[in-house]
Amino acid sequence: MILTVRKEETSIGHLDQDDNNQIINFTLKDQITMKTIVANTLLIVILFTQSAISQMKALDKIFLTDQRAYEGIVIEQKPGEYIRLLRLPEKDTLKIEYETIEKMTRLVADESDLSPQKTKKDALQSPKKVYNNRRTYGMVHGVTGGGDYAYAGFGLSFGVNVNPDFQIGLGVHYFGQLSDPLNAPSRQTFPLALDLRHTILKSKSGRFTTMLGLSGGYNFTVNGDYFDETLFANMKMSNGYYFNPSIGLRVNILENLGLMLDVGYHYNNSSLLWRDSGDKAGTVHWHNILIRGTLFF
């Protein structure tokens, strides 16, 4: 009986040891599995981070039809309508219409470009100048001309840039006669006109531009009273119409400041009235060449 009991105890002891070995083996397997999961997770995070950094290094460069260019990351794109560009140094976003885009390129920066010294150096460099990029503009004019009579004057205009190649504005001028045509007074006129300008040629940088201009409006006349020796009567030159097509050269001194010189045909007319009765006797037409110098801002 004692031997039997010992064998049973021994068997039981062996069973307990096997169970312990199995538990130890399971524990080791669990540890190895957890280490594998952690290692794989870290590898995925590292790869994802490198991919994100690689994407951040890749910048989009947008070239516009008006010679401007912007760099950043395209974060929104609606084909045929617009894109939205995130500019990292400026910390802002730009909405750019598709019709103003000439082309788009992808720039991949080198790691050395992301160093603080390189970034600081690049930040200190002046970006490419973009001329006449404001929505509104102002102009101060000096005018002279001649033909049916000599005259000089000045003017002021304000307007908006509808697009990089087209401007529309409103202007007022003062013209004073320097010579008297036959049987006519030394008039002073104030044309109020709508001004249109369209770019036909420009340099690669946009600093030099050739423009066609067209101004038209109403001509207010003062000092129109005179004695007509032919009609032997007191007459009056009244208001009329003003028309001035021109071609000019614009040169930028600064990004939104420069000079312009244009030459054109200047037509205006006046209603001829009998001064005593106020009745209309006819219309007088004037034809001149106009030379205008302009400071724009």
- Please give the pLDDT value at position 3: 39
pLDDT at 209 over 50: yes
> What structural domains and CATH numbers belong to the chain?
60-124 (2.30.30), 136-296 (2.40.160.20)
Highest-confidence range of 18-32, 48-62, 94-108, by mean pLDDT?
A: 94-108
pLDDT tens track for 210-249 = 999 999 999 999 888 888 888 888 999 999 999 999 999 9
pLDDT at 126 over 80: no
In this predicted model, which residue has the larger pLDDT, 52 or 33? 33
Q: DSSP per residue over 58-113, as a string? A: EEEEEEETTS-EEEEEEEEEETTTEEEEEETTTTEEEEEEGGGEEEEEEEE--GGG
In this predicted model, which residue has the larger pLDDT, 80 or 153? 153
Locate tokens 């032919």: which residue?
Answer: 230
Quick one: pLDDT band at residue 179, thresholds 50, 70, 90?
confident
Model pTM above 0.85? no
| Sign of the Cα pseudo-torsion (204, 198, 162, 143, in order) | positive
pLDDT averaged over the chain?
80
**From 11-20, 206-215, 218-227, 272-281, the region with the lowest mean pLDDT:** 11-20
Beta strands in the chain (DSSP E): 58-64, 69-78, 82-87, 92-97, 101-108, 136-147, 151-163, 166-177, 188-202, 208-222, 225-228, 233-237, 240-254, 257-274, 280-296
pLDDT tens track for 190-205 = 999 999 999 999 998 8
